[in-house]
Amino acid sequence: MNKNVQVGSRPVKKRSVMLRLGIFVFAVFMVIKMGQLQVELIQKRDRLEAAKQQLETTELKVKELQNLLENGTESDFIERVARERLGYVYSDEEVYTDISGK
């Protein structure tokens, strides 16, 4: 069998089955690799977002501690945190809630 096909005045070789198979395998490999890279990118973006949130939380803690150093003692700080975050009040203290929404 002749592998050359005559087109016009010059012979054209039929493409090799191995070449086609090689190109197909390479294309499949690239598609799989791109999928893996996409998954890795998503994971790294999630880690970056978590790190940004942790940084923000740490910066808030630092600001609170700096405020404590500048504005008062530790007992003042503890009292303020207990009132603001935990809603604590003194036993003889009366608390009124404004329900008007203003």
Number of domains in the chain: 1
Does residue 23 fall inside a structural domain? yes
- Please, which pLDDT band fits residue 40 given cuts at 50, 70 and 90? very high
CA 38/CA 44 separation, integer angstroms: 10
The string of pLDDT tens digits covering residues 71-84 is 777 777 788 778 88
pLDDT at 17: 84
Range of the structural domain that residue 11 is part of: 4-84
Does residue 91 fall inside a structural domain? no
Q: Name every residue whose Cβ is closer than 8 Å to that of residue 14 and which is 6 or more positions away in sequence.
A: 3, 4, 5
Structure tokens given for 95:
């608390």
- Please, which pLDDT band fits residue 59 given cuts at 50, 70 and 90? very high
Q: What is the mean pLDDT of residues 30-41?
A: 97
Predicted confidence (pLDDT) at residue 62 exceeds the cutoff of 80: yes
Provide the whole-model pTM. 0.48
CA 66/CA 74 separation, integer angstroms: 12
CA 63/CA 59 separation, integer angstroms: 6
Does residue 13 fall inside a structural domain? yes
